[in-house]
Each structure stands twice: as structure tokens, then as C-alpha cells.
Amino acid sequence: MPWSYIINTNRYYASLNNSTDGQMPLPDGQFSNTKKMVFVLVIGETARSDNFSLYGYPKNTNPKLQQTPNLLVFKNTQSCTTYTTGSLACMLSHTEKVANFEALPTYLARHGADVIWRTNNWGEPAIDVSSYVKASDLRSSCQGEGCRLDEALLTNLIETIESSTKQKIFIVLHTKGSHGPSYYSRYTASFNQFKPVCRDEEISKCTSQELINAYDNTILYTDHFLATLIAKLESLQSIPSAMMYISDHGESLGEQGLYLHGTPYSFAPDYQKTSPFCYGLQIRCNRISK
Ligand SMILES: [Zn+2]
């Protein structure tokens, strides 16, 4: 879209200002117990719930998550905006109002939690955390084909959790997910299951089916990523854990002649606003009550 070049340039430069100076602190709180536990928040990218079989999509794009017990799937979740920076600021805030309060990671870190932000993306609000790690810095220790993709974020994750000396650990994994237009580059070869796929960055040159197939393969890969994370958390022997997955916004795949996202919210189609939202509980250790 023509306006995207201007708007996103401004958003990009705004995101470079990562100072938390001037942010207003939220009221102090306290943890209700001192037991060591971990919560992992996975922020998806451009995943729309319409293409998740967890939400009734007829193609099986969630074969692993559908087999996962104790997974809560929330329906009718709408993103705050149709672009990354706006949605991240919103989902990490206690209010939808635009105000300069500290974000959730900063709040938790200020209260003594070990807050670890791992990113294969960009666009988070200014935060003050214990550890900020880019996927590019994790890749040298990562093994496997998925290391060039979001799976790099899982590198040594369990070791990091186990070695933390804090009682409360909050980890954010900010993925690249289904970001277009090159959907075909967001998954490894074994997830190229829906064919034929669009391999042209000028996606309007592809057929609708090729485009949707490539996009669906990214959801299949996200399914694998989340199932892998859950399996890793289940391997923790004595640390209760939970994980939450929510995408920042949806995507248009040619419906009404629209592609990608970022359409102004007031007339953006629901495809750009419907975000999948899952919550997984790890029960091998002490069950965390719902
Ligand atoms: Zn986004």
C-alpha cells in the first residue's frame, strides 16, 4: 500500500527510541508465593485465527496443537491494531488508552522477576528487562534446520530457565511467524505440505490458492514451534510452567482485493484483526489452577 512506506518508516524510527525514561510506573504489587515458576508468552506475527484448524479451518494446520491436552483456545479475540508496533504496545499494556505507562515486562522486572525477551522480530515498546536477546545471537548455539527461523528462539531455553536464580521467570518469544509477503520463506522444507505455493514476493501475481497454501504452511510451522515449546516446558522436572500464544494481528490474503495488513483499523477487514489466542498449562509438575 502506498501509505505503508511513509507510515512504517516513521514507526521504524520511533521504535529505535527504546528508552523507558518518562514512563509512569504502575502501582506496586507482590507475588502471592515464592515458588519458582515460569511463564512464556509467545507473540505471533501476522497469524489470523481464520486459518487455524483450532478455530474450525477445514485444512489441518494445527495437527500438533490439536493433540495437546490442557490447551485453552479463546475465541473472538481481536487485535488492538493491524500493525506490529501498535499491537505490541497494546497487548503489553494494562490499558488500551495511549499513555506512557511502563509495559508488563518492565513491571515484572521491577518486581524482581527474571524477564527474558528473545526476538526474531522488532517493534516492541520501550522495555527494561533482565535480558534482551536477538535470534541472530542465538543461532550460533542452535542446531537444526529451523535455526534460521523462529526455532532459534528456543535455543537453550530450558537451560536458561533452570539456571535462573529468580523465583519468577517471564519469557517473551517474539516470533516472525507468518510475516509476508514471502510466506514461503517462513518455514522449513518439511512444512511445505500445502502445494503449490506462491514463491513471488509480488503476491498478486500468484493464484489465490498458491498464496493461501504458502500462508497455511506458515501456520503449520507455527503449530510445530508451539508444540516444540510445550514439549520443552514439559521436560522441566520441578518448575511449574505455562505458555500463552497470541498473534499481534491478522492478515489479508486477497479478500476484497486486499493483501498483507496495516489497513487503517476503522475500515480494515476482520481478517486483519482476528488473532489466535491459546493458553497452555504444563501439568507434569504442580498444576497451576485455571
Ligand atoms: Zn505484526
Position 98 scores a pLDDT of 65
> Domain for residue 288, yes or no?
no
Query: Which residues are CB-contacts of 61 (< 8 A; sequence separation ≥ 6)?
Result: 51, 52, 53, 216, 219, 220, 223
Regions of the chain where pLDDT drops below 50: 283-290
Q: What separation in Å is there between the alpha carbon of 80 and the centre of ligand 1?
A: 11
Query: Which residues are CB-contacts of 118 (< 8 A; sequence separation ≥ 6)?
Result: 133, 134, 135, 138, 153, 171, 172, 173, 174
Position 1 scores a pLDDT of 64
Position 285 scores a pLDDT of 38
> Domain for residue 202, yes or no?
no
How many structural domains is the chain composed of? 1
Residue 72 belongs to a domain with what CATH number? Answer: 3.40.720.10
Q: What separation in Å is there between the alpha carbon of 160 and the centre of ligand 1?
A: 27
> Domain for residue 57, yes or no?
yes
Classify residue 132 as exposed, middle or buried by CB count within 10 Å of its CB (0-12, 13-18, 19+).
Answer: middle
Position 76 scores a pLDDT of 85
Q: What separation in Å is there between the alpha carbon of 17 and the centre of ligand 1?
A: 18
Position 284 scores a pLDDT of 41
Q: What separation in Å is there between the alpha carbon of 51 and the centre of ligand 1?
A: 16
Q: How do residues 14-72 score in pLDDT, each as one tens digit?
A: 766 678 888 889 999 999 999 999 999 999 999 999 999 999 999 999 999 999 988 89
Q: What separation in Å is there between the alpha carbon of 123 and the centre of ligand 1?
A: 8
Q: What is the DSSP string of the chain?
A: -HHHHHHHHHHHHHHH----TTPBPPPP---S----EEEEEEEESS--GGG-GGGT-SS---TTGGG-TTEEE--S-B-S-SSHHHHHHHHTSS-SS---BPPHHHHHHHTT-EEEEEESS--PPP---SEEEEHHHHGGG--SGGGGTGGGGGTTHHHHHHH--SSEEEEEEE--TT-SS-GGGSS-GGG--S-S----SSGGGS-HHHHHHHHHHHHHHHHHHHHHHHHHHHT-SS--EEEEEEES---EESGGG-EES---GGG--GGGTB--EEEEE--SSSPPP-
Q: What separation in Å is there between the alpha carbon of 166 and the centre of ligand 1?
A: 31
Q: What separation in Å is there between the alpha carbon of 112 and the centre of ligand 1?
A: 29
Q: Write out the residues surrounding ion ligand 1, Cβ under 5 A.
A: 45, 84, 248
Position 15 scores a pLDDT of 67
> Domain for residue 61, yes or no?
yes
Q: What separation in Å is there between the alpha carbon of 91 and the centre of ligand 1?
A: 12
Q: What separation in Å is there between the alpha carbon of 165 and the centre of ligand 1?
A: 33
> Domain for residue 99, yes or no?
yes
Position 290 scores a pLDDT of 35
Domain that holds residue 43: 32-181+215-281
Q: What separation in Å is there between the alpha carbon of 83 and the centre of ligand 1?
A: 5
Position 250 scores a pLDDT of 94
> Domain for residue 39, yes or no?
yes
> Domain for residue 18, yes or no?
no
Q: What separation in Å is there between the alpha carbon of 287 and the centre of ligand 1?
A: 33
Position 23 scores a pLDDT of 87
Position 282 scores a pLDDT of 56
> Domain for residue 230, yes or no?
yes
